[in-house]
Amino acid sequence: MKYFLSVVLVSLLFSCNSSAQKNDTKKSQVFPISKTEAEWKKELTAEQFYVMREAGTERAFSSPLDKNYKKGTYVCAACETPLYLSDHKFDSGTGWPSFDRVIEGNVDFGTDNDLGFSRNEEHCANCGAHLGHVFDDGPGDTTGKRHCINGTSLKFIPEA
């Protein structure tokens, strides 16, 4: 039983977590908002730069947005493009904010093979910021998708 729990825990941690989640095709893509690394470093915190520009991952359970259940919109922390609605957020238990769908047209997808297998990476369609990954283990009563997103990549705008 201890072995089984260890395997489950390690699987959950690696399903969203990697320090090397770079997508080379994204680097060559041109986005409507394009800035130099120096400009991004001035605007973002060190953690945001690591996650959003270097495709890193924040520690699980470190974002207050993981347990945020208020009504509103989650926008890109770099350019404020609306990405996810609170109506589509759910508690996946993974330690990262999770959504069952995106706001269409505002999120782009790529492939990340850095862990030795393919994962679907998500990034902001407006500025290219790395957001997280999408998996096929979300709620079965909706889309069946789990958009596993770094909270540091998001800013929450409460409903008025």
Buried b (16+ CB within 10 A) or exposed e, 115-125: eeeebebbbbb
- Among 16, 76, 124, 148, the one annotated catalytic: 148
Strand extents, DSSP E, 34-159: 72-76, 82-85, 89-90, 98-99, 107-112, 119-124, 130-135, 146-149, 154-158
Q: Is 127 among the residues known to form the active site? A: no
Question: Which residues are annotated as catalytic?
Answer: 148
